[in-house]
């Protein structure tokens, strides 16, 4: 079970696409937040987070994503999650993330919803 956290990012159609792999804990959450901040300060307001390769997450790591959703919501932006494991999706639902963030099956679907 490979759980080493890695994060990759790209910008497509003015959207920041963040792709995680491995365990999203406090360290992983902070890395996501730092990468987001770099793009947010440059004006990016649409974000896609692909969690396909993160089957294990914790609430501290996810709290960084709540912070990001709050910031985007305040700035008129939006975040969409994709490729969620059912258990992670349930966790994010309990944490209220889908009140302001979206969810789609794939990155392409997310990009279409943000267009």
Partner 1 sequence: MKDAITLKMSLPKIPDIELVAIEGLDRLARHLGIASDKIGEANILITEAIINALEHSGGEHPEVKVEFTMTKQDLVILVRDFGKGFDPSTVADPAERKKAGGGKNNRGWGLKLMKTMSDDFSISSGDDGTRITIKKILS
Q: Give CA–CA dist 50/106, Å, rounded.
A: 8
85 contacts partner 1 (rule: CB under 8 A): yes
Stretch that binds partner 1, among 9-17, 37-45, 94-102, 106-114 (CB under 8 A): 94-102
- The smaller minimum CB distance to partner 1, of residues 12 and 90, is found at 90
Of 7, 39, 44, 60, which one interacts with partner 1 (CB under 8 A)? 60
Q: Quote the Cα angle for 15-101-65, to 5°.
A: 80
12 contacts partner 1 (rule: CB under 8 A): no
Of 39, 52, 91, 109, which one interacts with partner 1 (CB under 8 A)? 91
- Rounded (to 5) percent helix, strand, coil in the chain: 45, 30, 25
Please name which of 77, 97, 99, 100 lies closest in space to residue 89, comparing C-alpha atoms: 97
Of 45, 52, 56, 102, which one interacts with partner 1 (CB under 8 A)? 56
Please enumerate in sequence order all residues whose Cβ is within 8 A of that of 29, keeping only pairs 6 or more positions apart, or say none: 60, 61, 62, 63, 64, 65
Please name the residue that has the structure tokens 């990012």. Answer: 9
70 contacts partner 1 (rule: CB under 8 A): yes
Contacting residues toward partner 1, per CB under 8 A: 1, 3, 23, 25, 27, 55-60, 62-64, 66-67, 70, 85-88, 90-91, 94-96
């Amino acid at each position: 079970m490979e759980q080493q956290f890695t994060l990759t990012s790209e910008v497509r159609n003015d959207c920041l696409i963040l792709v995680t792999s491995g365990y999203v804990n406090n360290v992983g959450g902070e890395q996501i937040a730092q990468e987001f901040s770099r793009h947010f300060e440059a004006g990016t307001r649409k974000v896609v987070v692909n969690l396909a390769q993160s089957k294990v997450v914790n609430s501290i790591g996810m709290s960084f994503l709540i912070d990001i959703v709050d910031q985007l919501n305040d700035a008129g932006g939006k975040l969409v999650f994709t490729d969620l494991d059912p258990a992670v999706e349930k966790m994010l639902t309990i944490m209220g993330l889908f009140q302001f963030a979206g969810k789609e099956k794939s990155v392409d679907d997310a990009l279409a919803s943000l267009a």
